[in-house]
Amino acid sequence: MKKPGNGSSSGKKGNTRKPKSTNGAGDSSSRLDPAIARWLVAAVAEFPASRSSTIPMLQSAQTALGYLPGDAMRAIARHLGVAPAVVEGVASFYAQFRFNAPGKHRVTVCSGTACYVRGSGKLMEDIQADLHIAPGGTTADGSISLESVSCFGACALAPVVVLDDKVLRQQTSASMKKVIQELSAGPPKGRTRSARSAPAARGARK
Amino acid sequence: MTAMSKEELAAMPVEFKLNGKEVVGYGNETIIQAAKRYGVEIPHLCYKEGLRPDGNCRACMVEIKGERVLAPSCCRNPAPGMEVTSDSARALASQKMVLELLLADMPEERHTLDSELDHWAAKLKLGKPRFAAREQPKADLSHFGIAVDLDSCIQCTRCVRACREEQVNDVIGYAFRGEHSKIVFDFDDPMGESSCVACGECVQACPTGALMPARGAGLIKPDKQVHSVCPFCGVGCQLTYNIKDNKILYVDGRDGPSNHGRLCVKGRYGFDYVNHKQRLTKPLIRKPGAPKAADFTMDPANPLEHFREASWEEALALAGGGLKSIRDTRGSKALCGFGSAKGTSEEAYLFQKLVRVGFGSNNVDHCTRLCHASSVAALMEGVGSGAVSNQVSDVMHAEVIFLIGANPTSNHPVAATWIKNAVKKGAKLIYADPRRGDIARHAAHYLQFKADTDVALLNAMMHTIVHEGLVDKAFIKSRTLGYEELRKNVEGYSPEAMAPVCGIPAETIRVVARLYAKAKGSIILWGMGVSQHIHGTDNARCLIALCMMTGQIGRPGCGLHPLRGQNNVQGASDSGLIPMVFPDYQRVDNAEARARFEKLWGATLDPKPGLTVVEIMDAVHEGQIRGMYIMGENPAMSDPDAHHARAALAKLEHLVVQEIFLTETCYYADVILPATAWPEKTGTVTNTDRMVQLGRQALDAPGEAKPDLWIIQEIARRLGLDWNYAGAKEVFNEMRLAMPSIAGITWERLEQESCVTYPCENEGDPGQPVVFVEKFQTPTGRAQLVPADVIPAAERPDREFPYVLITGRQLEHWHTGAMTRRASVLDAIEPEPTALVHPLDLEAIGAEPGDVISVASRRGVVSLHARADDGTPRGAVFIPFCYYEAAANLLTNPALDPVGKIPEFKYCAVKLMKGGELAPRSSYGGGQTMAALKAG
């Protein structure tokens, strides 16, 4: 049933959800999340309104926002003048795009051949059970995202888990349980210094 | 000899071999199409005639001699000397493997009775598949009209192509990767929450039942199929009813000339109103003492509160007797009749004949007065014919499409698909409308001009065309009159001077004027945004002048097309349901025409044109008109200043209403005669393209409801006329004698072909899709150009009433909602009245989307939910007029165009206020029918 608050001149449903001004940053951008609005204003200026901008614009949104929020995808469809389903089709095809806000930390389990024969399959199952999430998911408290990668290229260290940008060698279910416990408790000093947290840390020292 | 075009070369015959036999194909067809013609069946799933071949399912693989790999026959064109085999062991093995793999994924219980996959699997004698099934996705039953069961989906993308390439609604996509790939709606939303407009084209395209009519309608085997025409808008889509036990199970689009199998949400899901429990099934007579007053309301579910049931004999005696006694005591002019553009042309013809012969005056009109009367007036004056010059499908041949004052994606959805298809093919769309409809997405130039400034914009375009020498001098000289006056008049309308008036930059006006004038073919389509103004005739005059001065008429791919609103407004008008003309627009004050009709009808006819819809209501108030016979119209909802109209209806001494539901107009009736709905009768309707199409009876009428033709004749008898028409065919045959434009159309041909375009003056004529090729139908044979000056709306916004009210229709609802608000799916999608307001205007009155707001004019006030819509311009509010609970026409201004007598539905001054009290819910609408269905 159509909600009274949504809709448009044409009867198409949900058009406040899917604004349709031709100028990209239309009247409804004022109701967007400020971070998305900031990105959108810059992106509309940067990317020409043609279908070929789909992937670059998705990448730009993910770089700026950490993932692809629905509002950003809608704005992309609107700016490029393509069907929302086309943007969805492209974004969902590539593994590089994520649709949920990433956790503070990213745990990536290698599922490549060498790691797999050294037990990464079981390792992944146990981590999932510990975190109560599936690969691609983020814990409810937003602390950890879990991902899998086909080969990290560090086969000699198998099974490998990458925590943010730090490679953890020859992991076991027990060792990972400990890592996860520490992560959930808060970042112990020096352990998880990642590329993302480094500038902030430097800034703090100044 | 001229060089052959690419298309001509591609269409040349090609000799090749198919399964060892010599066959002739064409270079522009595929192997599978050629094979079909020769009776060779090749399995196929992702291929469907009419959709672009995609070649993704690989079920149609064939072997081509000399080629290393098999080829998909749906994507390959035959080449001379090619040797194709579709039944070799290798080809068959491949075809079978594809089918077996797909079959393995099918659910135990199918969602359709005729899965194409099962059909081919049986043909190729496939047994139980050897492969494991996939993990099955869950059903999505979020939509009221369509069930999504992706467990049956084979990813053939026929739905994607139907949605995106055929209907161009751009909702369905193909997403995710590998084994997870699937079709999605928008951002993988549930279908019911997506931007789906429920045209159902995807359902029609789906080969396996993954997309089906909701609630298992497709799992019941129909008793019969009946071919007919859609009863909603003027596009005139042909369709097929699938019927079981006197109920329509579901509807399929049929390959008619105006729709080629396409339908919209109304035509596909809007039919169960005929089974609604509020259908009138017995004649009703008003109880003594039932009050008659403008604000009198009653419950359509409970007619016996104020009416009593009567026999047909008693009801007809009262209905006819009342009319007769007013005629005999007060004179002919004290009676009038409103016919309907929703009935058949035969009913319209007989109805106007009844008024003219039986009542004895020309006081007969219908809702054409409220939609395109001004366009027709301008066209009659300019080109001598009120109908379109070119058909909608001509947009496919146009270079430029100029669409003004129309919202076809809502009001003529299938016509809109042709426009969108034309744009995809390369045509340029210029779209001018104060409200941005969805089709703006496809426009090369969208002009959101200020409401009410059509003449300023169009004159400025003509100014540019004159000044830049873009006029067609030869055409003006040989085919038109009055160019000099027009030229002088537009002198005062430079784009610079008009830019601030209409709100469109001068340069944009110039650009679109050049585009229009220079194109090889430019077609103008317009809707009620042009006609429903007190200067509606002037607006249309400007469009006609624009077209004539550039010679954009008389060929395919150009011309003038007022998009007609109702399914039979063209036919009803042609049949003479107009106070100033007899059938075929022969003026009543023309002695020659009158003599012809007096001879045909054997009666003396009134030489004075009758009163129009709004004038009739005024005449009732003045006491001139005392009795009225209404067939299928609902003036209590559709007339401007509805309170005034309702007061008039209440004041009548005698009101007879012939209806299928107890409409708001019936509240004031003395006698109500239960009539038949569209699928319950046979007759012709004429669409916006001048196509006369045959609607065939598919259902039996409920209870004692009677065919309208029968009722009209019974009334006629009681007025002393001895009419004995056996049915629609006999009436139609008389119409052929009265109307030269359809004289050549035989009933038998209609039965055979379902559709014939007029003019068709002699039997066997093919009909003329394009008219005015050599001359116009004016007495001089030339087009008359009429200059127009800017006239402001009758009621402009001021400090007290600062907003402009625009009224119109919604995609899901039809006219006053009597039918569509009782159709389960349509009502469920749009259950209640809403006002569309720009989000910033909503903010300005301190309201949020979804809040209740009140809209008041000098004539009335309504309260309803606000919907944020950035397609509505600032300073305006749009309210659909189909909701009794918040009837937009309580607010509208009855000021009339002086020529077309059309009221100004598109412009009056209102104020907006946050808050207000919603009217109590009616016994229909509000999603109640669907709720009852779901509850079983």
CA atoms of B45 and B74, how far apart (whole Å)? 10
User: Is the domain of A65 the same as that of A119?
Assistant: no
**B370-375 average pLDDT score:** 94
A residues 21..40 contacting B (CB < 8 A): 21-22, 26-28, 31
CA distances from B503 to A57, B462, B500, B745 (A): 33, 17, 5, 48
The CATH number of whichever domain residue A174 belongs to comes to: 3.40.30.10
Helix (H, G, I), strand (E, B) or coil at B524: strand
Q: Is B424 helix (H, G, I), strand (E, B) or coil?
A: helix
Predicted confidence (pLDDT) per residue in B697-719, tens digit: 999 999 999 999 999 999 999 99
Is A72 in the same domain as A136?
no
What's residue A2's pLDDT? 66
Q: Are A86 and B196 an interchain contact pair (Cβ–Cβ within 8 Å)?
A: no
The mean predicted confidence, pLDDT, of chain A is 79
Tokens of B720: 């002393």
Instruction: List CB contacts of A50: < 8 A, sequence separation 6 or more.
Output: A80
One domain for residues A191 and A112: yes
The token duo for B667 is: 């509240």
Phi/psi-derived region of residue A24, left when phi > 0, alpha when psi is between -120 and 50, beta in every other case: left
| Each residue's pLDDT tens digit, B100-113 | 999 999 999 999 99
Of the candidates A4, A10, A31, which has its C-beta nearest B811's C-beta? A10
- Chain B residues with CB under 8 Å of A4 CB are 832, 834, 849-850, 865-867
SS3 A200: helix
Is there a single domain that holds both residue A163 and residue A82? no
Residue A117 lies in a domain: yes
- In this predicted structure, the answer to whether residue B308 has a pLDDT above a threshold of 80 is yes
What was the pLDDT predicted at A1?
62
Tell me whether residue A61 is in a domain. yes
Number of domains within chain A:
2
pLDDT value of position A182: 87
In a domain, A98, yes or no: no
What's the CA gap between B25 and B9, in Å, rounded? 13
Categorize the per-residue pLDDT at B467 as very low, low, confident or very high, splitting at 50, 70 and 90. very high
Does the structure show a pLDDT above 90 at B281? Answer: yes
d(CA B143, CA B151): 17
pLDDT in tens, A62-121: 999 999 999 999 999 999 989 999 999 999 999 889 898 888 999 999 999 999 999 999
The predicted-structure confidence for B47-81, as pLDDT tens digits, reads as follows: 999 999 999 999 999 999 999 999 999 999 999 99
Residue B10: band (very low, low, confident or very high) from pLDDT cuts 50, 70, 90: confident
Please state, as a whole number, how many other Cβ atoms lie within 10 Å of the Cβ of residue B777: 18
A169–chain B nearest CA distance, Å? 31
Q: Which residue has the tokens 């159709």?
A: B823
Q: Does pLDDT of A11 surpass 50?
A: no
Cβ–Cβ gap B409/A10 under 8 Å: yes
Out of A2, A18, A70, name the one closest to residue B829 (CB): A2
Confidence check: pLDDT of A21 > 50:
no
Sign of the four-CA dihedral B838, B839, B841, B846? positive
Shortest distance between the Cα of A78 and any Cα of chain B, in A, equals 10
Contacts of B441 in chain A (CB under 8 A): 20, 22, 81
Predicted local distance difference test score (pLDDT) of residue B135: 87
Q: Are strands B691-695 and B755-757 parallel, antiparallel or unpaired?
A: antiparallel
Facing residue for B177 by CB, picked from A85, A87, A93: A93
- CATH assignment at residue A79: 1.10.10
Q: Quick check: B863 pLDDT over 50?
A: yes
Q: Which residue of B has its CA nearest to A71?
A: B187
With respect to residue A66, please indicate whether it lies within any of the assigned structural domains: yes
For residue B186, give the nearest of A3, A19, A85 by CB distance. Answer: A85
List the domain range (segments joined by +) for residue A188.
105-201
Greater confidence (A17 vs B89) lies with: B89
pTM of the model: 0.92
- DSSP code per residue over B785-828: P--------SS---SSS-EEEEEE--SS--TTSTTGGGSHHHHH
CA atoms within 13 A on the CB side of A82: 21
Give B936's pLDDT tier (boundaries 50, 70, 90).
confident
Alpha-carbon distance of B874 to B466, in angstroms, equals 33
One domain, residues A137 and A88: no
Residue B177: pLDDT band (50, 70, 90) is confident
User: By CA distance, what is B170's nearest residue in A?
Assistant: A83
What are the tokens at B905?
């539905």
Chain B residue numbers with beta carbons less than 8 Å from the beta carbon of A93 are 175-177
Burial of B618 (0-12, 13-18, 19+ CB in 10 A): middle
**Out of A1, A15, A26, closest to residue B831 by CB:** A1
Tens of pLDDT, residue by residue over B581-613, are 999 999 999 999 999 999 999 999 999 999 999
Answer with the one of A73, A93, A113 that is the final residue of a domain.
A93
A7: nearest CB among B176, B193, B867? B867
Please determine, for residue B480, whether its predicted confidence score (pLDDT) is greater than 80. yes
pLDDT at B98 over 50: yes
pLDDT higher than 80, residue B307: yes
CB of A92 within 8 Å of any CB in chain B?
yes
* Same-domain pairing of A52 and A79: yes
Both A119 and A80 in one domain: the answer is no
What are the respective helix, strand and coil percentages of chain B, to the nearest 5? 35, 20, 45
User: Residue A14: is its pLDDT beyond 60?
Assistant: no
pLDDT per residue as tens digits for the range B214-240: 999 989 999 999 999 999 999 999 999
- Across B41-73, b (16+ Cβ under 10 Å) vs e yields ebbbbbbbeebebbbbbbbbbbbbeeeeebbbb
pLDDT level of residue B247 (50, 70, 90 thresholds): very high
Exposure letters B186-197 (e unless 16+ CB within 10 A, then b) = bbbbebbbbbbb
Co-location of A189 and A118 in the same domain: yes
> In this structure, are A33 and A76 located in the same domain?
yes
Q: How many CB atoms lie within 10 A of CB B619?
A: 18
Inside any domain, residue A85? yes
Domain boundary among A93, A119, A154: A93
Give residues with Cβ within 8 angstroms of B935, minimum separation 6.
none
In contact, B117 and B106? CB cutoff 8 Å:
yes
- Asked if A85 and B172 come within 8 Å (Cβ–Cβ), the reply is yes
* Mean pLDDT over each residue of chain B, to the nearest integer: 96
Residues of B in contact with A70 (CB under 8 A): 187
* pLDDT for res A6: 52
Kindly determine whether residue B193 and residue A14, on different chains, have CB atoms separated by under 8 Å: yes
A83/B437 CB distance under 8 A: no
**pLDDT surpasses 90 at A26:** no
Task: Answer yes or no: do A140 and A89 share one domain.
Answer: no
Predicted confidence at residue A8, as pLDDT, reads: 45
Choosing from A93, A113, A148, the residue where a domain stops is A93
User: In the structure encoding, which two tokens stand for residue B535, read together?
Assistant: 């200067």
B839 Cβ under 8 Å from any chain A Cβ: yes
Same domain, A29 and A78: yes
Q: Which residues pair with B566 in a beta bridge?
A: B233
**Of the candidates A3, A26, A84, which has its C-beta nearest B850's C-beta?**
A3
Indicate whether A78 and A29 sit together in one domain.
Answer: yes
Q: Which of A27, A84, A95 sits opposite B870 (nearest CB)?
A: A27
> By the CB < 8 Å criterion, does A7 face chain B?
yes
Under a CB-based contact definition with an 8 Å cutoff, are residues B807 and B880 in contact? yes
Surface of B (132-171) touching A: CB under 8 A: 144, 164, 170-171
What was the pLDDT predicted at A197? Answer: 35
The pLDDT value given to residue A193: 37
Cα Rg of chain B (Å, integer): 29
**Res A186: pLDDT:** 63
Domain assignment present for A122: yes
Q: Which of residues 849-878 of B touch A (CB under 8 A)?
A: 849-851, 865-872, 878
pLDDT tens-digit series, residues A180-192:
988 877 654 443 3
The answer to whether the CB atoms of B866 and A26 lie below 8 A apart is: no
In a domain, A17, yes or no: no
Instruction: Identify whether A9 is part of a domain.
Output: no
Do the Cβ atoms of B195 and A70 come within 8 Å? no
* Cα atoms in the 13 Å half-sphere on the side-chain side of A121: 5
Average pLDDT over residues B780-809: 96
Q: Are B235 and B755 in contact (CB under 8 A)?
A: no
Q: Write out chain B residues lying below 8 Å of A3, CB-based.
A: 850
Contact A6/B at CB under 8 A:
yes
pLDDT at A187: 52
- Evaluate if residue B781 carries a pLDDT over 90: yes
Which chain A residues are within 8 Å of B868, Cβ to Cβ?
Answer: 5-6, 16
What value does the mean pLDDT take over residues B792-810?
96
B56 within 8 A of B72, measured Cβ to Cβ: no
Confidence of residue B11 (pLDDT cuts 50, 70, 90): confident
Given an 8 Å threshold on Cβ–Cβ distance, is A74 in contact with B869?
A: no
Those residues with Cβ within 8 angstroms of residue B882's Cβ, 6 or more apart along the chain or in another chain:
B637, B809, B810, B813, B814, B815, B816, B817, B820, B821
Distance from CA of A35 to the nearest CA of B (A): 21
Which chain A residue has its CA at the smallest distance from B849's CA?
A5
